[in-house]
Chain A
């Protein structure tokens, strides 16, 4: 059964710092991996989607990488800002068109 783990569970950094969020999965047979952002009391906003054949995707200050063989993905956020404070979730598209989520990393960027 596919399991997705996100480390750390929470992170507090000063404004301007570059940071990395980690996501690991147990079964490498995935067809995509997606990173989301969730603000308190809100729905999920898609940030980046990486297909299984890709190694990375970039959007603005965000870069996501995927290493299927090791079961890992990272989300890199450059020059963090207070507006980046949110919970970041990764989700893998796995067998039978299911989607499995990690528990998330709660990020707080201090001004």
Chain B
């Protein structure tokens, strides 16, 4: 089954404790992206990647890191989490950006609470 898998689905942690949210897709997609969703603000793009070793900032990259060493994986790293990063996070992928006609497929989300 074609899917985007995020782990963990839920996480409660404390300020300053490094964490990684994993994202994996099994569709051989080139484009992958991370978003956060907050009430009243909608979804905002954090980082995206056009292919292996190619990443770029979205609208809200501060406090986050990403890497794309393999095509299928795109982890989101919070080196020193703070309470303002408490949010619902989504990973998405699409076949290719250059084609511009491929829909994005989303994971089920990761609810992150930072105390």
Interfacial residues, chain A to chain B (CB-CB below 8 A): 31-32, 34, 36, 42-46, 49, 51-52, 89, 91, 93, 96-104
A52 touches B56 (CB 8 A): no
Interface residues of B (CB under 8 A from A): 31, 33, 35, 40-45, 48, 50, 56, 58-59, 90, 92, 97, 100-109
Give the CA-CA distance A89 to B56 in the complex, in Å: 23
| Interchain Cβ contacts within 8 Å, total number | 63
Determine the chain A residues whose CB is within 8 A of the CB of B105 once the complex forms: 46
B45 and A100 within 8 A (CB): yes
Q: Judging by beta carbons under 8 Å apart, are A51 and B59 in contact?
A: no
Contact among B48, B58, B104, B107 with A46 in the assembled complex (CB-CB below 8 Å): B104
> Smallest CB–CB gap between B30 and chain A, Å?
11
Main secondary structure of the interface of A (DSSP, over half): strand
Contacts beyond the supplied A34-B104, A99-B58: 13 A-B pairs with Cβ under 8 Å: A34-B103, A42-B108, A44-B90, A49-B102, A49-B103, A51-B100, A97-B31, A98-B59, A99-B33, A100-B45, A101-B43, A101-B44, A103-B42
Q: Please, how many angstroms separate the alpha-carbon atoms of A52 and B108 in the complex?
A: 28
Closest Cβ of chain B to A59, distance in Å, is 11
| A89 partner, pick from B43, B58, B101, B109, beta carbons under 8 A | B43
Q: Across the interface, name the chain B residue whose C-beta is closest to A46.
A: B103
Within the complex, what minimum Cβ distance (angstroms) separates A54 from chain B? 9
